[in-house]
Amino acid sequence: MENHFDKRLDPTKLVPGARSVISLQYNYFPEKTQIPDTYLISKYAYGEDYHHVIKDKLYSLLNFIQEEIGAVDARVFTDSAPVLERIWAKRGGLGWIGKNNLLITKQKGSFYFLAEIILDLELEYDQELTTDHCGKCSKCIDACPTEAILPDRIIDGSKCISYFTIELKDEIPKEMKGKFNHRIFGCDICQDVCPWNRFSLPHTEPKFEPHPDLLQMTKKDWEEITDEIFKRIFKKSAVKRVKLHGLQRNVLFVKDEFC
């Protein structure tokens, strides 16, 4: 993000002549979750990789716009380029930035992927939501086991469980031992405790449905996972990012939390 800061601030550097940003949300909150007392992965990774699922829908919407209006220069994005997704969504009136630095939508919560179409078409713009509905609530800050959520809506990415279990390629620092709350891929803790997510409703996207075996996997299943099982259960999942050896590293790191 530091390398492309100018593109984050100026959409015309991504789409020359850009006049508008269309911000969208796509629900991924699951109807069912993993069994109790097992290793946990983030809910967004239950089904197929959202990058592919959402981009297909964005291209369909863009094709519709071009069929209705004519030639439009545009690009689609979903966590795939230096785009200020939460800021554009906030400016478009979709919600506010919570203390956990996620976009929260009143009566919908935060279990949503964000996506954008940047295009050279001037549109009638929505109004920004200026009210902060977090109030004095600090549940997300208090619940974060690694103290990654700082005041003033700042996240210390170097302390986030998602960073350690997905992005970090080296060994996980020993001082983090016992702080992952059984998490082996990503983290939903700050969302799970957010009062606004009591309004979350199950998604209706078939491609986000988990493999039938995933939700029933026990600790023993995770500890003994083979390459064959990994490829079968996570064939199209974002979990493939860490590969089997990365997932095994994470399982070994959090194994003692059950003792």
| Ramachandran category for residue 29: left, alpha or beta (phi over 0 → left; psi -120 to 50 → alpha) | beta
**Mean pLDDT of the 89-105 span:** 96
Q: What is the mean pLDDT of the chain?
A: 94
Among 186, 199, 167, 183, residue whose Cα is nearest residue 27: 199
Position 92 scores a pLDDT of 94
Residues 163-186: pLDDT tens digits?
999 999 999 999 999 999 999 999
DSSP string, 180-208: STTEEE---HHHHT-GGGGG------GGG
Catalytic residue among 56, 79, 126, 142: 79
**Residue range 117-143: mean pLDDT, rounded:** 94
Q: Is the pLDDT of residue 3 over 90?
A: no
Residues forming a β-bridge with 119: 20, 74
pTM for this one? 0.93
- pLDDT at residue 229 in the model: 97
Query: What's the token pair of residue 64?
Result: 């519709």
Give the closest residue to 28 by CA, choosing from 51, 48, 44, 45: 44
Bridge pairing between strands 112-119 and 20-27: antiparallel
The yes-or-no answer on residue 213 being catalytic is: no
What is the token pair recorded at 60?
């369909």
| Domain ranges, ordered by start, for the chain | 2-34+44-119, 139-194+210-258
- DSSP character string of 224-237: T--HHHHHHHTTTS
What pLDDT score does 4 carry? 53
For residue 23, give the H/E element and its range: strand 20-27
In the DSSP assignment, the letter for residue 109 is B
Instruction: Determine the Cα–Cα distance for residues 77 and 179; give it in Å rounded to an integer.
Output: 33
Q: What pLDDT, on the 0 to 100 scale, is given for residue 190?
A: 98
Other Cβ atoms less than 10 A from the Cβ of 193: the count is 16
**Which pLDDT score is estimated for 2?**
59
Q: Which of 197, 233, 186, 236 is nearest to 213 (CA)?
A: 233
Task: Give 237-253 pLDDT, tens digit per residue.
Answer: 999 999 999 999 999 99
**Residue 122, CA distances (Å) to 20, 72, 91, 118, 198 in order:** 6, 11, 16, 11, 36
Question: How high is the pLDDT of residue 147?
Answer: 97
For 55, the 3-state DSSP assignment is: helix
Contacts of residue 177, Cβ cutoff 8 Å, sequence gap at least 6: 253, 256
